[in-house]
Every structure is written in C-alpha cells, then in structure tokens.
Structure 1
Amino acid sequence: MPAIMLAAHALSATAALPIGKIRLPPGFHIDVLSDEVPGARAMTLSPQGILYVGSLEGNVYALELRDGHVASRHVIASGLQMPAGVAWHDGTLYVSAVSKIVRFDAIDSHLNDPPKPVVVTDQLPTETHHGWKFIAFGPDGKLYVPQGAPCNVCERDRDRFALLGRMDPDGSHYEVIAHGIRNTVGFAWHPVTHELWFTDNGRDLLGDDIPSDKLNRAPRVGMDFGFPYCHGGDIADPEFGKDHPCSGFTPPVAKLGAHVAALGMRFYDGPMFPADYRNNIFIAEHGSWNRSKKVGYRVVRVIVDPDGSHARQQVFAEGWLQPGEAVWGRPADVMPLPDGSLLISDDYAGAIYRVTYTAP
C-alpha cells in the first residue's frame, strides 16, 4: 500500500476512534495502528514483521507492518472456536481454540492462501467458561497453555482446571506446572531471570472491592496459588476455604485491584522508552463487568524487583472509560515491538494502538 494511503488510513482511523481522550505520561504518544481487527485479543509477531492477532469471534488476523504502519491486512483463519491466543515458534503460528491447539505452518509466506490448520492437541477441556486461552512459548521451548476454572468459583478436577500447563511444540509431554489459578489471560518471562510471571482474575460476587486480581510469579514448577480456596492472597472463600488457610498458598507479587480484569501482560525491554521503564511490566486491564462503579479499562505499569519485591503500580494509559461510565474501548493485550514502541489491542473497539515515546 502506498505511503499516502497509509497516512490516509491512519487519519480516518484516528477520526473514527476518540484516541485524543487517552492520557499518557509526558513524552508518550498513541496512534491507531488499525481499526479493522474485530474482537482483537492476544498478539504475536513473526521475525518478518507480521503481526498476528487472535479474537473471540472465530477469526485470526495477520497485519503486515512497515515503518510503523499496516501495509496489508489478512484473515488467515475463520470459524475457529474462540481463537483468542496466538504464539509464534520456529516459523509456525500456534492458535488456541478452547479444546484444541492448532498450528499454521509457514504462514508468513501464505497470507493470501493460508494452509489448513494442523491439530497439535485436541485433548483440552471443552468447557467455554474461561475456556479461551492466552498461549506463549517459554525460554524452554515449550508451549504454555492455561486452563481456566469452568465457573465463577467451584471445586473441580484440579489436574484439569484452574491451572497452567505446558507441552512440547508437537503437543506431547503435557504437564501441569502450577495449580490454583482461576483464569490467567496473560503471562511472560522476566528478561533477566527468565522466571514466569502471570496475571490472574479474581472471583466475582464477593462485593465491589474484593477480591483483587493478582500479579503472580512462579520461579519453580509445582506452586499453588490458592483457587478456589483463597482469593487475592488473603481472602478465604466462604464455601471452599474452611480447611485451606491462605497461608498455605503462594501469595501474589501485587494486588491489581478488584474486578479490573487484568489480561495481557509483558515485560518491557525495548530501546525507545526511558531507561527506568526497562524490565517493568505493562498490564492491560480489560475492565469490570459487574461492579456498581466501573474500574479498569486502562493499561498499568508495574515497577518491581526481579525477585518480586517492592512492587508498585502506576497508571500508564487511561481514557477508554469516560465520565458518566461511558466506555469506548477495552484493552486486552500489550506487546512491545522491536523498535521499542508498545502495541495495545482493544477487543471492544476492534483496534490495535501503537504507543511511542519522544523525549520532552
């Protein structure tokens, strides 16, 4: 697409979405990369600069990026069941589809004629409540796949639900690596320690202000984060918590707030933002759905030591929630690009935003 058309697209997208309402720290700027990604959820980038985006609507999108713009857009899959998660590994795109993980081989070279998906595994639970999945490859080369609780709160098979598992790229050697996770829709590995960190959504129907969503750290296999017995790190479940004190489970690194719906998270290690942003965490807060007064609908920054100590939060980007509780967007995932800019997906507006920084 010619540069003049790219500029025209950016202008029309900016006019369609009230991007000027987003508030950022001094020196940061946000633009609409694309407003043509309905239901945009998780993102992954191939080495060739193809941005793949999952959705809950059945489609998987590919955006060819050039010089910070979208050169072309493709629908590379349709009719999948809640294909929210996408992950890139060794020339192949992996996509979650509730009970299945499928892959698209050599997809970068076949955006106009995508191959049929190859089933990696079809042995995951079929429940759709918290059944959509963020997926990612870890430093060990394994594919990490969560399985959320099939309920608000319940005591189900803990080797099938409320967990985080991993498998080889071909679907073999599946193992559960952490229990007691109600629903994680975002995880990443620390750039220095390579330890796993993840967000976890707290249960509903205990009131407006409890329990909190969590940011967790899992430096080893076999940790238990408490669900359904303990919520937010220190609140015993009124039905299931009697014989399972919170002291017996791994506490969170940070409490993110009740009902904020913390989803995608990534560490920032790019070259563009100020030096004090390095190894900080960005978290997309999708926003509350059943709180009496809405919260979330923003991106927060967590500054924290590698061992999980001294965690503190700052609001990084807000404005999708307007006065009078009007909502025009819901952040779902965040992802730094190689140039150091930060992408934010928005499933409500069907958009991808790009945040850049210029020293004031």
Structure 2
Amino acid sequence: MKHILILLSCLLAPLSSAQILDKLSLPSGYEISYFAQDVDNARQMAVSANGIVYVGSRKAGKVHALIDDNKDGIADRKIVLAEKLNMPSGLAMKNGNLFVAEVSRVIRFSDIDLQLKRQAKSFDYDVVFDDLPDKRHHGWKFIRFANNGELLIPVGVACNICEEDPKFGRIFSLNLTTKKLTTVAQGVRNSVGFDTNPKTGNLWFSDNGRDMMGDDIPPDEINRVSKPQEHFGFPFVHGGSVLDPEYAKNKTLMDFQHFSAPKLALQAHVAPLGLHFYRGTHFPEERHNTLLVAEHGSWNRSKKVGYRVMMATIKGGEVTAYEPLVSGFLSKEQTLGRPVAFAELADGTLLVSDDYANAIYRIRYNNK
C-alpha cells in the first residue's frame, strides 16, 4: 500500500515549468520558451513602442509591466502597476497611453513608459469611461483600438442563456472624445477576443457558445463583421446551425436566415478567447496574416477539449484551413496551461499568455 501511495503522489505531483515546456508540441521549425513566469492570472497583453509588455488579469485584479532589459527574449523585471481592480482583463496601447478595461469602466495610464522610467512608487491613472454594466458574469473585457481610432469594447451577456437589454451581448465602439458608444456587432454571447484583418479591414471575433446543451453542441464561433450592427444569432441560433430549445421553440432556421452564420464553427466548449492576425515577418511567409486563435479549453465537458493555440488560414474572406500551432496544454485530462491572448514583439516573435500557468510564452521560428 505504501508503494502505491508513493506512486500515486508522483503521478499527481505538479510538473515543473521545464517539464511543461517539454510537453508542448509545435510544427517543425517553431520553438517555445518562457518570456515571463509568475504573472498572476495573465490575460490580454499590450506592447509599448519601447518594447515593454503590459499584462492584465482577471481574478488577480492586477496589471503588470514586464521589462526585458537586455533584449534576450526573457523579461528581467516584473512591476505591478495596479492591484485590487475589478477584473482588469483587457489592455490596449495608444500614443504611449495604456488603456485598461475593468468590468464597468475604462481607465488610462498616461505616458506609462515614462512613469516606469521615473521609477514611480505609484502609478497614476484616470477614468476615461465609466458607463458600462457592472455585472461580473461575462463582464471581463478584451479591448483593441479600431482603425478609426475608436476603442472596441465587448459586453457579454450576464447569463448562460437569456435575451438581454441592448447594453449586453454586443461589441461596441467607443469614441473617446464624445464618449458615444456605437454598436458594431450584436447577438454576441461572450466575445473575449477580436482583431481587424490588416488586408481587408474586417473585424473578426471569437464567441463562446452557451452551456448546458451537452458535450457536443452548440459550436463555439469565429465570426467576421461585414456590415454595421450585424446580428450573429444569440440567443436564438448558435453556431449558425443549432436552434435554442427555449428561445427558438417552434421555429426553423429559415425563420432566422437574416442572422449571420460564423465563418468557422468550432468544437463545442473549446472556448476561443484571443484572436490575432500575425503582422510580423519573423514567421515563414505562408504564415503572414494568419489568424491565431487561443482555445482556452473546456470546463463543463465530460472529456476536456481545447487547450491549444490554433492557426486559421483565411483566403477570400473564408477560413480555408485550421491547424494547431501549440498543443500539449492538456495531457491525459490533466490541465497544464490555458492560452488566452497574443501580442507581437518588434522582432516578430509571438507572445502567448496563460492564465492557468501564470506565464507568458514566446514563440519564435528557427529555420535551421
């Protein structure tokens, strides 16, 4: 019995950070390493012109700054800019200012690199918008600046399945001067990732499907916005093909043909979060403009799915291939990591955040 207990304890012992990296698989030529570790609940990232990586969190309530002083691809310093914030998951940079999205407001750290250079004991911020819903269920944000200079902000529905008022279930565009919110997309259950295709200007976003319909339905979604205020089906149609048993009772898909179907219907519960079009030139040419997808992984399925970084090839506005860049975060039902979001460094290497392992990974390509 003693030997059995010792064997079980060895099997259940947490893996070291090096062992986790050894478990990860990438295509030939790609290499992965740690850019930073011990970054509490690492979520969305933003990189300044000086190469400082800022990281938000969800449960931890913190915003970090990661500084690679010697430019070797590993952060040398970690600084906490703020803590005790309300799920500051979303970050974006503009004109040297760091914008952070909490549940009900957006705050701004002005000239944040300069504040760090001055070695400030505390970091100043101001509130730029505070009229977002305060419900925490699906209330954490992912933000980006659109090509027109406005800030894109999603507001997920405060439920599993419901028909919310117009303040929920949408992606909004915020004019920072007028403080006016404009609907970009509606019928969106909970998007925690989007990016604009640099070649076409179209916004692509992830959407997490409803729960409690079983292991295999409904699909999670990757969507493309092609017109203002486009409707993507929630709560009536899921994944473009699954009618909701409550909100679409006695209806057919023909009744909802005016709703837009996803460009890619994913496996149920893979939980796509961050999206990012690769803009650099460090990766091979065939990967330029590839759409990267962070599948955070399931929490409510009898057998886990997701837990990987995927690459979507897009041609003519359609997804023509969907294949893994990093897999191995799930090993025999044991969770080793949960990828969340992406950022690029100036050299074109890719950063991936992981809110389970509290880590930031760096992916590079070595054609040797």
TM-score of the two chains, using structure 1 as the length reference: 0.93
Q: CA offsets per residue over residues 320-351 of structure 1, 9 Å max, x none?
A: 1002x011111011222221111110000100
Pair 1:211-2:213 in alignment: no
Residue 311 of structure 1: SS of its match in structure 2? Answer: strand
The 5 A counterparts of 1:144-155 are 144-155=152-163
Q: 1:26 aligns with which of 28, 34, 39?
A: 28
The 5 A counterparts of 1:186-225 are 186-225=193-232
Instruction: Structure 2 unaligned segments of length 5 or more: list them.
Output: 1-14
**Contact preservation (8 Å) 1:121, 1:171:** no
Q: 1:273 aligns with which of 280, 283, 289?
A: 283
Query: How far apart in 2 are the matches of 1:322 and 1:264?
Result: 22
Letter in 1 for 2:302: S
Q: In the TM superposition, what is the alpha-carbon distance from 1:17 to its structure 2 partner?
A: 5.4
Q: In the TM superposition, what is the alpha-carbon distance from 1:169 to its structure 2 partner?
A: 2.7
CA RMSD, Structure 1 to Structure 2 (Å)? 1.6
Residue 239 of structure 1: SS of its match in structure 2? Answer: coil
Instruction: Structure 1 unaligned segments of length 5 or more: list them.
Output: 1-12
Q: CA offsets per residue over residues 291-339 of structure 1, 9 Å max, x none?
A: 000000100110111x42243210110111002x011111011222221
Q: CA offsets per residue over residues 205-240 of structure 1, 9 Å max, x none?
A: 111111111111012211000111110111111101
Pair 1:337-2:345 in alignment: yes
Query: How far apart in 2 are the matches of 1:38 and 1:235?
Result: 37
The 5 A counterparts of 1:224-243 are 224-242=231-249
Q: CA offsets per residue over residues 161-184 of structure 1, 9 Å max, x none?
A: 000001123461211121000011
> Identity rate of aligned residues, in percent?
44
Residue of structure 1 in register with 2:192 after alignment: 185
Query: How far apart in 1 are the matches of 2:305 and 2:256?
Result: 26
Residue of structure 2 in register with 1:78 after alignment: 83
Pair 1:136-2:144 in alignment: yes
User: What is the count of residue pairs matched by the alignment?
Assistant: 345
Letter in 2 for 1:71: D
Letter in 2 for 1:268: Y
Residue of structure 2 in register with 1:3 after alignment: none
**Contact preservation (8 Å) 2:99, 2:107:** yes
**Contact preservation (8 Å) 1:14, 1:32:** no
Larger Rg: 2
Q: In the TM superposition, what is the alpha-carbon distance from 1:191 to its structure 2 partner?
A: 1.1
**Contact preservation (8 Å) 2:47, 2:344:** no
Query: How far apart in 2 are the matches of 1:15 and 1:295?
Result: 22
Residue of structure 2 in register with 1:59 after alignment: 62
Pair 1:282-2:292 in alignment: yes
Q: 1:165 aligns with which of 154, 172, 192?
A: 172
**Contact preservation (8 Å) 2:264, 2:319:** no
Residues 346/17 of structure 1: CA separation in 2 closer, same or farther (3 Å cut) = farther
Residues 97/310 of structure 1: CA separation in 2 closer, same or farther (3 Å cut) = closer
Residue 70 of structure 1: SS of its match in structure 2? Answer: coil
Residue 241 of structure 1: SS of its match in structure 2? Answer: coil
Letter in 2 for 1:296: G
Residue of structure 2 in register with 1:262 after alignment: 272
Q: 1:314 aligns with which of 315, 323, 330?
A: 323
**Contact preservation (8 Å) 1:254, 1:311:** no
Query: How far apart in 1 are the matches of 2:229 and 2:51?
Result: 36
Letter in 1 for 2:63: V
Residue 262 of structure 2: SS of its match in structure 1? Answer: coil
Q: In the TM superposition, what is the alpha-carbon distance from 1:248 to its structure 2 partner?
A: 2.1
Q: 1:328 aligns with which of 336, 340, 349?
A: 336
